[in-house]
Amino acid sequence: MAAVEALHGAAVLQSRLCAENGSPTWAAIIDALDARLDDPGDPAVRLLLQDEQDPIASAVLLRFLGAVHRILLDGQAHELGRFMPTIGGSVDPQRAAVAFFPFVAHHEKSLQQQMQVPVQTNEVGRSGILSAGLRWISAQVDLPITLLEAGASAGLNLHLDQYRVHMGDQVWGSGASLVVLKDNLKSGRLQGSEFTILDRAGCDLAPIDASRAEGQLRLRSFIWPEDTDRMSRLDSALAMFSPVNIEACPASTWVRTQFDTSRSGTITVVMHSVVMPYLSAAEKQDFEDAIAQAGAAATDHAPIAWLRLEPSEEWGEVTLEVDVWPGGRHEVLATCTPHGAQINWLR
């Protein structure tokens, strides 16, 4: 009973988030799943009940739906694909929900394996607001940036300086970039200055190799089926991708390693986006302690900044915050949607 109740709570939350952020198809399928949770013999319910991770913290429903999407994107023909625009279909959430269950029954064994793949969207759309955050930091500290990303996935957002950003009446980034991020500013006017990234690196518990077809498929599978714009943006980022060093390592351990040596003449920026919900309370505290310890040791010649784009506990909105050391200045810079749109710039 406890497992069913936990899955129900996860379904209510995830359905709302999908509906609010542009995926009525996933919302309809999750609602249909929720209505079947009392039937342990249903293949889809059986897969969910077999998963032993916390359903919210591990995003089990997004892992499940991502596994379904991955199999379809990999060329498995099925009626369900007719209702997935990312596969050339058209939007029809209710018919997709009906077709979903025969698909699951047919692919149950494969789905059980594929569901173990953690959710990694590596959403390139967040690079617009993140680079705006780096511009704000650059206006405060006139030094080149060493960029360290925790939970970097494939490292696509570590290349944010190579993307073209249109934010209100301001434009920055490469004019020749295949990735153009625009029409995302809802209110406010940005203040900042150009920045230079001297070095970049990241960590992730399960890094994705974006240079390989398998890694690219994983990234595509977590795009929601209606969002052809996000899929196109991801494909553009993959087309111009160059490898970056991403270590398979917990965030707190990696951050401490990175600060073993002081970097004079550069501001070291620790950056992450929508990572905290996937950490346990202990892991989150350990990571925050590691940042605070590094900040306490910062100097004017080797300053540190902590830039993060993270959701509230209710996931109602995502907030861009920054701390800068020495001094420990804290600012709330902006809010936006989880995918980096509808930006309200506050500073």
The count of other CB atoms within 10 Å of the CB of residue 50 is 10
Q: What is the largest CA-CA distance in the chain?
A: 63
The pLDDT tens digits for 159-187 are 999 999 999 999 999 999 999 999 999 99
Residue type, 343: I
Q: Structural domains in the chain?
A: 2-114 (no CATH), 124-207+242-345 (3.40.50)
CB 160 within 8 A of CB 134: yes
Q: Would you say residue 80 has pLDDT above 80?
A: yes
The pLDDT tens digits for 98-143 are 999 999 999 999 999 999 998 888 999 999 999 999 999 999 999 9
The pLDDT tens digits for 318-329 are 999 999 999 999
| Residue 312: per-residue pLDDT | 77
The pLDDT tens digits for 287-314 are 999 999 999 999 999 999 999 999 976 5
- pLDDT category of residue 2 using cuts at 50, 70 and 90: low
Residue type, 178: L
CB 146 within 8 A of CB 164: no
Mean of per-residue pLDDT scores for the chain: 94
